[in-house]
Structure 1
């Protein structure tokens, strides 16, 4: 049961994860306070129209964060990471720790921190994963009921430019027979809302969240079905990996296991019975984005090396 009086503070509410969480919380009847940089932006206005209370501020604005957390039941914490080009790894760590510290200071009952599926207690050698490992460790050290979720790779990422769909093919991290777990961004909030609704059950837990698991060959079949023509799948070529250290490191994490995902899909289905498969996503939420990707050339936005 949601607490109809005490709000949930949602960071990143105009972005992917925070936006999904704010939508799910509002749908379930929670009061939502959204931290936004610009209360006049189109996304912020849409949030306000949907029923969210807006608090203007940034991750570096401790006074605004304190004001947002005053009287709050919970906090959903997510930060941008360095591949976005907007923050450094050190800034991500500083912001993540500060939000957790302020949640304790303000007497928040339940903190939900969104990390990443490749994260564990061992460094990966990739800054934007290891930054989250450091934030996780800090959260666990604090006197607050906390849940750490580790989202796997987003299904939505598959239709970003640079993976070959505009050329009638698809290239990604796994070998054709390797499987990877994927998550529809829309489903993130549908996992987080039940976590806030039952803090005694989920407090103290850390777990991956995903909504499907597919192999490269299965993606080939799904994309071909959705496109109405063959979309062959292959792993990134050796030439592509040699030219992009960033992609090469991620591909190595696929082979080593962390990037593949370790979510218990059956257990997650009990939390969110509506979680979307890749086929579901291609037929509904992601249909327009997929069709647009078939005709949109470009390079992968996160490939900055």
Structure 2
């Protein structure tokens, strides 16, 4: 079988890194990875290069570098990072949503110019289709409700308008979030509490590694997914069910205490309003969001798809509360 070149944007990040690992760990993979990174000298990039991966410097803000990086590639995985570190100058010159839109445009133009045969664009739903002009939900960055969802959804059109053969891969919140800011915390009495603002609704989540494994399967099957939207998750659980699974994994009771969306938005950290809006979307639109992510269908693409409990058996120690 002829080896095909797969260019991976964000190869040292979460989603891109998961895809690189999925290819590298599969001896039968038909792909050779070309890892794209803004800094070839970073420790993560150096580690990839030391393991035999072709590492190429490219920046989504630099169209010419993206064209060079995509040249000769048979396929490409494209992801943008709304939460990326930015310089004060960039913060002053454009919003984060404007950054994502411009970067997606560059990726689409570069893929078109290089003749890439299949692109997977990591995207999300447009929450404004649900919220509309709902004044209960603050507008962010001028015209968005959840910019890191809405801008990616807007960017879908950049690939369509440029006639790029694209699969639109809709992801969701990562299991890894429970090992960070979304995980259980200790209250004033020292008890573990999970304070997800999702009321009593189901929340879809997935392991980052499974995004990469599913993307590889889509690339392998190729043309049947071009022009299609594929929505994925690894589990659908309520707050109570997440708390129960965490209790078992930690060997200590974790209580679920849902926070209101307004209380979440009122917290004093960057992105609190954006994230509060996101959780309100997850909860209010749960039936549609969860319904689009059929676990049986995802498992057909990725038979190794992990449930939250399966992920916890390997990562419980990462949850340090």
Deviations 1:9-52 (A, max 9, x none): 10111000000011112333311111112212211012112332
Indicate which of 15, 18, 28 corresponds to 1:17. Answer: 15
Judge conservation of contact 1:119–1:132 (CA < 8 Å) in 2.
no
Structure 1 residue 159 and structure 2 residue 179: aligned? yes
Q: Report the aligned-residue RMSD.
A: 2.2
Alignment correspondent of 1:136: 156
Q: 1:239 Cα shift?
A: 6.6
**Residues 105, 247 of structure 1: alpha-carbon distance in 2 compared, 3 angstrom cutoff:** closer
> Which shows bigger deviation, 148-157 or 234-243?
234-243
Judge conservation of contact 1:209–1:268 (CA < 8 Å) in 2.
yes
Q: Classify the secondary structure of the residue corresponding to 2:64.
A: helix
Q: Classify the secondary structure of the residue corresponding to 1:139.
A: helix
Indicate which of 210, 217, 235 corresponds to 2:240. Answer: 217
> Which shows bigger deviation, 157-166 or 23-32?
157-166
**Residues 223, 76 of structure 1: alpha-carbon distance in 2 compared, 3 angstrom cutoff:** same
Instruction: Structure 1: state its 5+ residue gaps.
Output: 295-305
Instruction: Structure 2: state its 5+ residue gaps.
Output: 87-94, 133-143, 268-272
Q: How does the TM-score come out when normalised to structure 1?
A: 0.87
Q: 1:237 Cα shift?
A: 4.2
Structure 1 residue 268 and structure 2 residue 266: aligned? no
Indicate which of 206, 216, 220 corresponds to 1:193. Answer: 216
Q: 1:165 Cα shift?
A: 2.5
Judge conservation of contact 2:6–2:76 (CA < 8 Å) in 1.
yes
**Residues 210, 117 of structure 1: alpha-carbon distance in 2 compared, 3 angstrom cutoff:** farther
Write the distance in 2 (CA, Å) between the matches of 1:74 and 1:238.
40
Q: 1:219 Cα shift?
A: 1.1
Write the distance in 2 (CA, Å) between the matches of 1:239 and 1:76.
36
> Which shows bigger deviation, 72-81 or 24-33?
24-33
Alignment correspondent of 1:289: 318
Write the distance in 2 (CA, Å) between the matches of 1:165 and 1:54.
39
Structure 1 residue 146 and structure 2 residue 166: aligned? yes
Q: 1:121 Cα shift?
A: 6.3
Alignment correspondent of 2:274: 246
Structure 1 residue 234 and structure 2 residue 257: aligned? yes
Q: How many residues align?
A: 287
Q: 1:238 Cα shift?
A: 6.3
Write the distance in 2 (CA, Å) between the matches of 1:211 and 1:238.
25
**Residues 242, 148 of structure 1: alpha-carbon distance in 2 compared, 3 angstrom cutoff:** closer
**Residues 247, 129 of structure 1: alpha-carbon distance in 2 compared, 3 angstrom cutoff:** closer
Q: 1:201 Cα shift?
A: 1.8
Write the distance in 1 (CA, Å) between the matches of 2:151 and 2:145.
10
Write the distance in 1 (CA, Å) between the matches of 2:122 and 2:262.
34
> Which shows bigger deviation, 151-160 or 26-35?
26-35
Q: 1:289 Cα shift?
A: 1.1
Deviations 1:80-107 (A, max 9, x none): 11x4453721011001111011101111
Write the distance in 2 (CA, Å) between the matches of 1:119 and 1:102.
28
Write the distance in 2 (CA, Å) between the matches of 1:119 and 1:249.
9
Q: 1:118 Cα shift?
A: 5.6
Alignment correspondent of 2:195: 171
Alignment correspondent of 1:88: 96
Q: 1:243 Cα shift?
A: 1.1
